[in-house]
Structure 1
Amino acid sequence: MTSLSERSLNFQGNALALYHRLLARTVRWQIEGRANISKAQASGRPLLWLFWHEQLSAFVTYTVRFVGGDKFTIVTLGGDPRGNILGNFAASLGATPYGVDMQGNPMEAGRKVLRIIQAMKDGKDSFLAPDGPDGPAFEPKAGASFLARKAEAAVIPVGGFTKAGYALRRWDRYLVPLPFAKLRIVFGDPIFVNKRDKDEAVTEKIVGALTAVYRQARGR
């Protein structure tokens, strides 16, 4: 029998999915850098879409409208109610989420990451906010460069912004677009990553690219 807490988590995840379907149908789009997506796709590499955590909602809205959730396999936070909500959210949109709990069960977490990498090599995309889930904002953790190197991915930097949105009062100033908003999405030049690349070098490229598209999306 499903517990009350499980039903609550399912409800929250489904509600988030419903809201983003509404956004995808109502927002007015301003999209820049589509050619960079084509360049990444033409490489034949797995695609890894990256953005700062603040912009997760903007990116998900884009994928619902133009890509489709079933295209993605993603990392969520295992062993945490937030991860359960986001896992239900992702699954409701058709994505395949893997709850990764490096603190509670690192061996199982490692196996799940390997499944994500294999799924990417088999044709699935993935996405990640390098500064998530707890920040600090704009300071990447090791996961993005690790995933990019192991999958030998084409990284697509993403920036998103709307003036008609609500910024949550928390570490990332998480931006929630409102229905009928004008949403600007910017895609930067893809970063082609190889297994032998150094983590520090990959991370430096990621930070530079994400900073550039973030500023461009905001018109800075």
Structure 2
Amino acid sequence: MATAFIRGLACTLSYELHDPWKIVHSPPATPLIFSFWHNRILLMPYLYRKYFPKRKLIALVSRSNDGKFLSRVLGQFNLIPAEGSSSKKGASAFKAAIQAAKKEGYDIAVTPDGPRGPRYFFQEGVIHLSRLSGLPIVPVSYQLESKIELKSWDKFQIPIPFSRCRIFVGPLFSVPKSLSENEMSFLKKELSAALSRC
């Protein structure tokens, strides 16, 4: 039911893709880490399949009831969940995601402010995932012309049917194996700014 709702709603929207670094038009052969704010989750499975129909993706989700629901939705889009979080079995989820990327070429999806927030606070987990895996981070966001915002911690966004969705992709952020405290702080600010530009 939820998947049919997402597909049906998404099909009514008009899309405007902003891809100045040609990540969608000419994606690298190696896996990527896609990072987006938690309140943009709804359309992301649909958009990934729309713009990357032949690629594979594993998404880090929490082990909460919301995470289990999201896992079922991901499966309907032929995407794989890795259950864990920063507070519960996160290390095993990181390991599963990295193995899937390195051995089978899966992209990885992560929400840097999830699963509990604060909203739009870029946590370090995504950067550590990139550092450990050697994979670059791609910030992705979208702006809805008309939307409903739920009264959740993240102000979860639901588009109004037949409205416009502007999608922003990139740039690529490569993370070195070792980072100083200042470098980590700078990278978090740059990634947060890239996700918040719309």
Compute the TM-score of the two structures, normalised by the length of structure 1.
Answer: 0.78
SS at match of 1:97: strand
CA pair 38-61 structure 1, distance change in 2 beyond 3 A: closer
Deviations 1:124-174 (A, max 9, x none): 111111001111111122321111111111211112111221111122111
Structure 2 residue aligned with 1:161: 143
Query: For 1:59 and 1:143, how far apart are their aligned partners in 2?
Result: 20
* Matched pairs, number: 197
How much has 1:16 moved relative to structure 2? 2.6
Q: Is the 8 A contact 1:131 1:141 kept in 2?
A: yes
Tell me which of 107, 110, 115 is aligned to 2:96.
Answer: 115
Structure 1 residue aligned with 2:46: 61
Bigger helix share: 1
Deviations 1:104-125 (A, max 9, x none): 5x4xx42332121011123111
Query: For 2:185 and 2:134, how far apart are their aligned partners in 1?
Result: 14
CA RMSD of aligned residues (A): 2.5
Structure 2 residue aligned with 1:47: 32
How much has 1:27 moved relative to structure 2? 1.2
- Residues 1:18 and 2:4 are matched in the alignment: yes
Query: For 1:188 and 1:110, how far apart are their aligned partners in 2?
Result: 27
Q: Which runs of 5+ in 1 are unaligned?
A: 1-14
Structure 1 residue aligned with 2:71: 87
Structure 2 residue aligned with 1:131: 113
Q: Which has the larger Rg?
A: 1
Q: Is the 8 A contact 1:20 1:60 kept in 2?
A: no
Structure 1 residue aligned with 2:83: 99
Tell me which of 194, 204, 210 is aligned to 2:186.
Answer: 204
Compute the TM-score of the two structures, normalised by the length of structure 2.
Answer: 0.86
Deviates more, 1:199-208 or 1:171-180: 199-208
Q: Which aligned pairs between 1:180-195 and structure 2 lie closer than 5 A?
A: 180-195=162-177
Deviations 1:1-56 (A, max 9, x none): xxxxxxxxxxxxxx3322222233221011101534159833x5420111121222
Q: Is the 8 A contact 2:143 2:165 kept in 1?
A: yes
Q: Is the 8 A contact 2:122 2:192 kept in 1?
A: no
Q: In structure 1, what residue type is equivalent to 2:158?
A: V
Query: For 2:175 and 2:150, how far apart are their aligned partners in 1?
Result: 33
Deviations 1:65-100 (A, max 9, x none): 22249711111111x211111111111211111211
- Residues 1:214 and 2:196 are matched in the alignment: yes
Q: In structure 2, what residue type is equivalent to 1:113?
A: F
Q: Which runs of 5+ in 2 are unaligned?
A: none
How much has 1:210 moved relative to structure 2? 3.5
Query: For 2:53 and 2:182, how far apart are their aligned partners in 1?
Result: 32
Query: For 2:152 and 2:105, how far apart are their aligned partners in 1?
Result: 35
